[in-house]
Amino acid sequence: MLEVKEVSKTFADFEAVKGISFQANRGEVLGFLGPNGAGKSTTMKVITGFLDPSGGEALICGKSITTERKEAQRFIGYAPENAPLYDEMYVREFLTFIARMREIESERIPDRLKEVLTMCSLNEVAFQKIETLSKGYKRRVSLAQALIHDPKVLILDEPTDGLDPNQKHDMRELIRKLAKEKCILISTHILEEVEEICDRCIIIGEGKKLFEGAPHDLKSKSNKGKIQDVFRAITLKTNVSGVSL
Amino acid sequence: MIRISPAVKHLFVKEFTSYFKTPLGHVFLVIFLFGIGYLTFEPGRGSFFYIREASLGPFFRHIPWMFLFLIPAVSMKLWAEERKTGTVELLLTMPVSVAEAVIAKFLASWAFIGVALLGTFPMVVTVIYLGSPDLGVAFLGYVASFLMAGTLLAVGGFFSALTKNQVVSFILTVVAALFLLMAGSPPILEFVSTVFPKYFVDLLESLSVLGHFDSIERGVFALSNLWFFSVMIVFWLYGSIVLLNENKAD
């Protein structure tokens, strides 16, 4: 469903992503891990078609994001980092706007709205202005706009960042529920999250893929079972006691 | 027939209605309508009562100077705000191209200025009540104002795409708009002719937005005027598209 082939991205003289490849299928949650500035967000921006890759390409349900951008984008739901939203709009109005932009037929929009508002527990704030919402609600609105057209591929850039523990829990529950029929790529630097919701994870550092495998593979590399030790050993390329790579 | 992409239509509607939901739109309308009314009737040479003529001349003469400060206030947020808040990422990952988004936003802001111009209808009613003005000329005056607004909005959109800072975008647009308005004025042309060859002076004169505006406003609607405004709008919109493709990631 999602196929990333040797994607690279260079800004002026800075190489942010250096040839990353991976695949993800329906029913799978792929975790995208890495320190800040590793190239996670840039890779996601290339996959969603916001940025053109400097090399390589990404296929979404067989459509190339570079040569068939609009077709490929129809399959993607994307919640960008920090949940940017049009603050002056009301939640319902905003989601209706996104639904129209996503080319959902007008008669289907009320049903879709009802569905995503319920799914993301937004019913009580549906008639509120986005700027008055708390961070947790804004994240959910951002997720709701990514789900409105029922995309096959969901790309979530740090969806739980800045949420309180209860909100994090709810968000993870929701992602797990969605995972059954979608292909989800989720970036995070919260390691417990990876263990909890991801089937597979990729660690990237300095624009390169450093590890790919199941979270328990990652964990088993540490004799104390500490995933953060393995993460440090991989991304910092140093010896960490108890970790054998 | 040209098929308008649905995304352009929906983005246009969203942008256009947003002017009436934020204080910006209301502040603009009040200041524009009050300001243009005051300038038209203010006591002094060239004012409406002084010239003792049922003409919209004093009204249209002040339009460019109102636009000089008010249009940049409308255009400054077109892209700067989207880029600053990150919503540009949301917008451009939907099935809409940069060019379509630029056009939709530009048309929405242009339509908003159109509404502001329509709001000046009491001026026309007053003149008709007081005498028998040449309505054809009045109509052309509105056409000229609308075309000039489009040009200045396209310029403003370009500067809004250039920076994430709305204040910087405002100032750059005012400076660029002032240059385009004044390009054909005698003091500037005289100064330029002391340094540059004649063909450059002619080129500068032909770039004068005010020159083309005056020509239509006087009732002489030449194809070259329409051509000038169309080329200017297309040129600056194209500039915005190129710029956004380059710097949307910053």
Touching check for A96 and chain B: CB below 8 Å? Answer: no
- A69 and A166 inside one domain: yes
CB contact under 8 A, B93 and A48: yes
Q: A9, A42 in Cβ contact below 8 A?
A: yes
Q: Which CATH number does the domain housing residue A24 bear?
A: 3.40.50.300
Residue A80 lies in a domain: no
- A63 and A180 inside one domain: yes
- A2 strand-pairing partners: A24, A60
> Tell me: the pLDDT tens digits for A124-172?
999 999 999 998 899 999 999 999 999 999 999 998 887 888 888 888 8
Question: What number of C-beta contacts closer than 8 Å exist between A and B?
Answer: 64
Q: Name the residue type at position A152.
A: K
Which of A191-195, A201-205, A221-225 has the lowest average pLDDT?
A221-225
| Structure-token match 């008010």, residue found | B70
Which pLDDT score, from 0 to 100, does residue B45 have? 67
| A-interface mutation test, from B8, B94, B97, most A Cβ less than 10 A away | B94
Residue B155 lies in a domain: yes
Residue A81 lies in a domain: no
Model pTM above 0.80: yes
- A157 and A62 inside one domain: yes
| pLDDT at position A243 over 80 | no
CA distance A235 to A205: 6
Take residue B216 and report the two structure tokens written for it: 């239509």
- A96 and A210 inside one domain: no
- Give me the DSSP letters along A84-95: ---TTSBHHHHH
- A14 and A59 inside one domain: yes
Which pLDDT score, from 0 to 100, does residue B56 have? 85
Residue B1 lies in a domain: no
Long-range contacts at B237-243 (CB < 8 A, ≥ 24 apart): B237/B102, B237/B103, B237/B106, B237/B154, B237/B157, B237/B158, B239/B158, B240/B79, B240/B102, B240/B106, B240/B154, B240/B157, B240/B158, B240/B160, B240/B161, B241/B98, B241/B99, B241/B102, B243/B158, B243/B161, B243/B162
> Tell me: the pLDDT tens digits for B22-43?
888 999 999 999 999 888 888 7
Segments forming the whole domain that contains residue B239: 6-247
Residue A84 lies in a domain: no
CA B104 to chain centre: 16
Residue A112 lies in a domain: yes
Of residues B212 and B172, more confidence is placed in B172
Residue A244 lies in a domain: no
Segments forming the whole domain that contains residue A99: 89-150
Q: How far is CA A145 from CA A42, A95, A106, B6, B79, in A?
A: 21, 6, 16, 18, 21
> Tell me: the pLDDT tens digits for A41-100?
999 999 999 999 999 999 999 999 999 999 999 999 999 998 999 999 999 999 999 999
Which of A106-120, A179-193, B83-97 has the lowest average pLDDT?
A179-193
- A161 and A231 inside one domain: yes
CB contact under 8 A, A103 and B89: no
Residue B138 lies in a domain: yes
Tell me the H-state helices in A75-131. 91-101, 109-119
Specify the number of domains making up chain A: 2
* Number of neighbouring beta carbons within 10 Å of residue B201: 19
Residue B225 lies in a domain: yes
- A128 and A34 inside one domain: no
Of A104, A135, A150, at which residue does a domain stop? A150
- A59 and A156 inside one domain: yes
Of A135, A150, A165, at which residue does a domain stop? A150
Confidence category of residue B86, pLDDT binned at 50, 70, 90: very high
Largest distance between two CA atoms of chain B = 58
Q: A120, A112 in Cβ contact below 8 A?
A: no
CA distance A224 to B180: 71
Which pLDDT score, from 0 to 100, does residue B31 have? 94
Take residue B34 and report the two structure tokens written for it: 């009050």
CA distance B90 to A101: 11
| pLDDT at position B1 over 60 | no
Portion 86-125 of B in contact with A at CB < 8 A = 86-87, 89-90, 92-97
Confidence category of residue B66, pLDDT binned at 50, 70, 90: very high
The count of C-alpha atoms lying within 13 angstroms of the C-alpha of A90, restricted to the half-sphere facing its C-beta, is: 10
CB contact under 8 A, A87 and B97: no
- A64 and A159 inside one domain: yes
Of A112, A132, A150, at which residue does a domain stop? A150
The count of C-alpha atoms lying within 13 angstroms of the C-alpha of B231, restricted to the half-sphere facing its C-beta, is: 11
Confidence category of residue B46, pLDDT binned at 50, 70, 90: low
- A208 strand-pairing partners: A205
Q: A180, A27 in Cβ contact below 8 A?
A: yes
CB contact under 8 A, A101 and B21: no
CA distance A24 to A10: 24
Specify the number of domains making up chain B: 1
Which pLDDT score, from 0 to 100, does residue B220 have? 83
Residue B90 lies in a domain: yes
Take residue B212 and report the two structure tokens written for it: 């083309």
Touching check for A70 and chain B: CB below 8 Å? Answer: yes
- A116 and A192 inside one domain: no
All residues at 6 or more sequence positions from B35 whose CB lies less than 8 Å from its CB, including other chains:
B66, B70
| B-interface mutation test, from A100, A104, A147, A187, most B Cβ less than 10 A away | A100
